[in-house]
């Protein structure tokens, strides 16, 4: 199954086991504060955590993210932290503080299952062909969209910005494959099962494996987002960090 409906648990270590098995879980009984959100990552990943920066306040779009998505618009399947390039956070959490009055259901897709079942040509492109995924003004990121790390962990990514790499031998074909990948995840965004985060619940997920999104919503909706880096990731970016991309830019 490509779609994921994460199981609920009040036990952080059970949540960790569920993330390892299924890619995501929902941790219940979490407090509403910024400190509570930061503690979720520490409680679930414990001694594996290398960096847990301050959470970002997510209302419409993010805190200081450059890309804003209006509340009425569906936010399609994506991965977080792409402005940090190949050192994007490998895990993440979303703590619901206030739910909207209508809509706003979350949805997830298992990137590893996607890879297994997709067209062979697209899979080869995603795993083998360098693509320029650099967000304007951010750190250069030229690498395959699906990145195999030195520790053999695989990061399935859906960056907002992607274009043929500077050394591409067939830019038109590469652009077509990038569009195919975006269309595949956009189509899936309308078909995978939905679930609703309630206040006091935190979605915890493997950001290398799981793509996430949400439906449009009405009313006021407030979550804390936490990006974290663990020992199983690709290292921590140099310099200060936050759970948005405010420190990822060079210009």
Rounded to whole angstroms, the Cα distance separating 224 from 63 reads: 10
Q: Of how many residues is the chain composed?
A: 251
Q: Is residue 187 part of a domain?
A: yes
Q: Is residue 239 part of a domain?
A: no
Residue 243: the pLDDT is 93
For the record, the structure tokens of 224 come out as 């804390």
Low-confidence ranges of the chain (pLDDT < 50): 251
Q: Is residue 248 part of a domain?
A: no
Q: How confident is the prediction for the chain on average, in pLDDT?
A: 92
Residue 62: the pLDDT is 56
Q: Is residue 84 part of a domain?
A: yes
Q: What is the pLDDT of residues 76-111, one digit of tens each?
A: 999 999 888 889 999 999 999 999 888 899 999 999
Domain that holds residue 27: 3-230
Q: Is residue 250 part of a domain?
A: no
Residue 135: the pLDDT is 84
Q: What is the pTM of this model?
A: 0.93
- The DSSP result for 170-182, as a single string, is -HHHHHHHHHHHH
The total number of structural domains in the chain stands at: 1
Q: Is residue 208 part of a domain?
A: yes
CATH number, residue 172: 3.60.130.10
CB-side neighbour CA atoms (13 Å) of 138? 26
Residue 60: the pLDDT is 60
Q: Is residue 235 part of a domain?
A: no
């Amino acid at each position: 199954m490509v779609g994921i409906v994460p199981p609920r648990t009040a036990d952080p270590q059970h949540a960790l086991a569920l993330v390892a098995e299924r890619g995501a879980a929902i941790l219940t009984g979490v407090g509403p504060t910024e400190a509570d959100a930061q503690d979720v990552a520490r409680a679930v990943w414990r001694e594996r955590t290398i960096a847990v920066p301050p959470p970002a306040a997510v209302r419409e779009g993010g805190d200081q993210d450059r890309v804003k998505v209006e509340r009425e618009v569906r936010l399609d399947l994506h991965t977080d932290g792409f402005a940090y390039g190949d050192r994007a956070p490998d895990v993440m959490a979303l703590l619901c503080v206030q739910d909207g009055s209508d809509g706003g259901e979350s949805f997830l897709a298992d990137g590893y299952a996607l890879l297994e079942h997709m067209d062979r040509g697209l899979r080869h492109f995603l795993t083998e062909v360098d693509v320029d995924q650099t967000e304007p003004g951010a750190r250069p990121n030229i690498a395959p969209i699906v990145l195999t790390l030195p520790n053999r962990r695989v990061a399935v990514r859906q960056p907002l910005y992607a274009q043929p790499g500077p050394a591409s031998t067939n830019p038109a074909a590469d652009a077509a494959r990038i569009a195919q990948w975006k269309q595949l995840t956009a189509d899936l965004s309308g078909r995978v099962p939905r679930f609703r985060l309630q206040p006091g619940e935190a979605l915890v997920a493997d950001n290398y494996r799981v793509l996430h999104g949400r439906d449009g919503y009405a009313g006021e909706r407030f979550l804390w987002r936490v990006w974290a880096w663990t020992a199983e990731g690709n290292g921590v970016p140099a310099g200060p960090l936050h759970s948005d991309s405010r420190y990822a830019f060079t210009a």
